[in-house]
Amino acid sequence: MDPKRLEKLEAIQEWEAAKPTTDSDWAEDVKKENLDIKFDYQLEEMLESHADKITKVEKDLDKFTNWPQAIKYELTLQFTQLFENSKINGVVPLKVEEKTLQEWVNEEFESQNLYYTCQT
């Protein structure tokens, strides 16, 4: 899994486990995120952006949950192109960056699964 994505997911999981539960904790979190110094229009834009993101993530999660083979097929096409682009003397390699095509597909599938699970 991409280290940056893993780091973001771990941060989300840590926040989820330790999220504020009292009004005073929430007030501190708002200050920590600098939401207390944002203008109303900025907060409205953030709200709209996040609402749009939730809709997209829910749609993607539905596809991911109900049609995992379609996702794997799309990933296979994507990584097949990576292998095609890595030809050496016209020969497609068995591994790219020490991973087979199936390893690339499986790793990305699991990465996306974790992403969508943590986003909802």
Domain boundaries, the chain: 23-119
Q: What percent of the chain has pLDDT over 90?
A: 47
Checking if the pLDDT of 7 tops 90, the result is: no
Eight-state DSSP code of residue 38 = S
Nearest-CA neighbor of 64 among 13, 11, 118?
118
This prediction has a pTM of 0.61
pLDDT at 108: 94
Checking if the pLDDT of 33 tops 90, the result is: no
* 26 within 8 A of 32, measured Cβ to Cβ: no
Q: What pLDDT, in 10s, does the model give residues 51-70?
A: 999 898 888 888 888 999 99
**Nearest 5°: CA angle at 85, between 79 and 5?**
45
pLDDT at 2: 65
